[in-house]
Chains A and B, each alone.
Chain A
Amino acid sequence: MKLTGAGVGRGAVIGPVVRIAPAPAAPAHEPVPEDPTSAAADVVAAFDAVAAGLRAQAGSAEGAAVAVLGATAQMAEDRALRKQTLAKVAAGEGPVTALDSVVGGFVEMFTKAGGMLAERVTDLRSVRDRVAAHILGVPAPGVPHLSVPSVVVAQDLAPADTAALDLSLVLAIVTELGGTTSHTAIIAGQRGIPCLVRVAGALELAEGAVVAVDAAAGTLEVDPGPEVAEAFALRADVARRLAEDVSPGATADGMPVNLLANIGTAADAARVAGDACEGVGLFRTEVLFLDRTSAPTREEQAEVYAQVLRSFAGRKVVVRTLDAGADKPLAFATQLDEENPALGVRGYRLVRTAPELLETQLAALADAQRVTGVQPWVMAPMISTPGEARDFAAAARRHGLTTVGVMVEVPAAALRADAILAEVDFVSMGTNDLAQYVMATDRLRGELSDLINLWQPAVLDLVAATAAAGRRAGKPAGVCGESAADPVMAVVLTGLGVTSLSMSAGAVPLVRYAVAQHTLAQAEAVAQAALAADSAEAARAAAIAALVPGVAATLGL
């Protein structure tokens, strides 16, 4: 039996299933309590027991888990939650039905508010599940004690559940719900644990069944044969050897493709500078600005920029000016009343409402250039017109910055890429936002993830048009979105004429390998195969089928 889902990471492992008990549902037509007073006492006892349990767990946890568990315990202690639930029980509702309706009200309110509040919904649901299990007298949902390395299978994992897992014994995480950007997937990704989300049928897997989880392919196979174990071992060996290759990125016939890293902080720079990347293709400076009440000073910024430039000792560093707004609000610059922030004053557009932010940042970059003697490349996000590109280039050059570019993530900029490139020295495509705007699809809506797929032919068309404009102008046209980290997509992008690929540093080895296996003509054939498809799935399948023989197998596809 084989199940499929969305994979996070590229790992592949085999191990026994450990199931996490699903949340208990309220009984259909839950009876009205015969004695409302004793029913109310049961509800209070359930809240108290859950809160005490979470407090005890927090007491023996370490690191970030302490705060997560403490905050979850506080929800179980919440006076308003208890009062509203008890009022409904007193009015004759079944206790779990009452709990569900009160929690449902908060969930709706938090989800509507979005942002940090929406992220607490999982915690609130996990409190609801624990209290409901206590009232119903069924085993508490949550994490069992692991004794051997296991594949953890659940409907979904709350942060509190993930925090309680002994990750050293978790081979892989498989969930029926969730998304590739959910909290659990992110933690798993950071720890290098393969993760499969949105796996239909995962909850029917038997406890102890041996399964093969392949995050790269997005598949789960029950009772895999010995050949699967052999293939997985081979892949692990290949991955180890690829990581040792540090040659500059290029096609098999020597056409260079810069392989660069995305970073957000000076600490990131220090960590990845030793890796086999050729520089930084995207330094997200907004990390310096987030979670603050006022903008960092010119001196503070200059110090951080200088640290980053020094870390890469003369290698290319592309600095993106502040990309705030939309999903990255700033206390001191974001318009709070925007109905449609993704289409509002964000990125370069902040120059209209807070021009001093860009001026200070460019001055700080010039300072860093002066003290280090290293010339950064600088680019602006969210450029829509050649006029905006011209204004940004003029501002940057006024400060003495010499290599000036813009991001292509608004479809208008891709459609008019020739005119944009006439104003600047290079462009870099942000494929995540480009896809969001081309497909008119919110990046954070899991139920629309098929529409925002980076293989959508309309997205590829705009990348192709931008890369072609770069070739005509003889200027670099790079990609610094998620696309660049996918080895198959990297071959397509190379074939479209993209000159640099910037990604998380860990993705570089496989991308280097995939690009190096193809001549430019072969990569062009892979790109054409993808462009000729009429759906995202067909485009990816066509590209994989057109790869040089043997590459797909090495990549585990």
Chain B
Amino acid sequence: MSTRTVAVASSSGLHARPASIFTQAAADSGIDVLIAHGDEDPVDAASILLVMSLGVPSGAEVTLSADGPDADRVLDELVALLATDLDEEP
């Protein structure tokens, strides 16, 4: 299993637009990715409802994990997304 830990850069935390972009990317990756915050159990990173339920504030660290040959590539892409302030319009 591959894992990555990253601080959420978006100024509103993992809510609204940032949560929407992140979960869509996790769903589009085609593999099962888990996301964990604090002591809570990891949840499906492709579920916007579960990800928002984590209530991750700006600057807090989350840990992503996945299995399989594509895991490292997918996790690197998702980490890059979380390290970007997604509240800013592109």
Contact = CB atoms under 8 A, between A and B. Distances in A.
A331 B59 contact: yes
A336 B57 CA distance: 10
Contacts of B55: 113, 117
Interface in A282-298: 291-293
Nearest to B16: A116
Contacts of A78: 47-49
B7 to A, nearest CB: 10
Nearest to B46: A79
Contacts of B49: 75, 78, 80-81, 106, 124
B44 A79 contact: yes
A291 B20 contact: no
A204 B50 CA distance: 38
B18 to A, nearest CB: 11
Contacts, number: 58
B58 A331 contact: yes
A110 B53 CA distance: 7
A71 B16 contact: yes
Nearest to B53: A109
Interface string B1-31: 0000000010110011100100110010000
A74 interface: yes
Given A116-B12, A117-B15, A79 B52 contact: no
Contacts of B71: none
A328 interface: no
A373 to B, nearest CB: 35
A78 B47 CA distance: 5
Given A71-B20, A74-B20, A293 B11 contact: yes
B87 interface: yes
Instruction: Give the size category of B's interface with A.
Output: 20 to 34
Contact of A291 (B12, B43, B52): B12
B31 to A, nearest CB: 13
Interface residues of A, number: 23
A92 interface: no
A67 interface: yes
* Most central of B16, B49, B85 by chain A CB within 10 Å: B49
A86 to B, nearest CB: 14
B15 A116 contact: yes
A70 interface: yes
Contacts of B27: 77, 79
Interface in A324-338: 331, 336
Nearest to A120: B52
Nearest to A119: B16
A113 B54 CA distance: 10
Nearest to A113: B55
15 contacts: A67-B17, A71-B17, A74-B24, A75-B48, A75-B49, A77-B27, A79-B44, A80-B47, A80-B49, A106-B49, A110-B53, A124-B49, A291-B11, A293-B58, A336-B57
Instruction: Kindly list the 7 A-B residue pairs having the minimum CB-CB distance in the complex, ordered from nearest.
Output: A80-B47, A116-B15, A331-B58, A80-B50, A74-B48, A78-B49, A79-B47
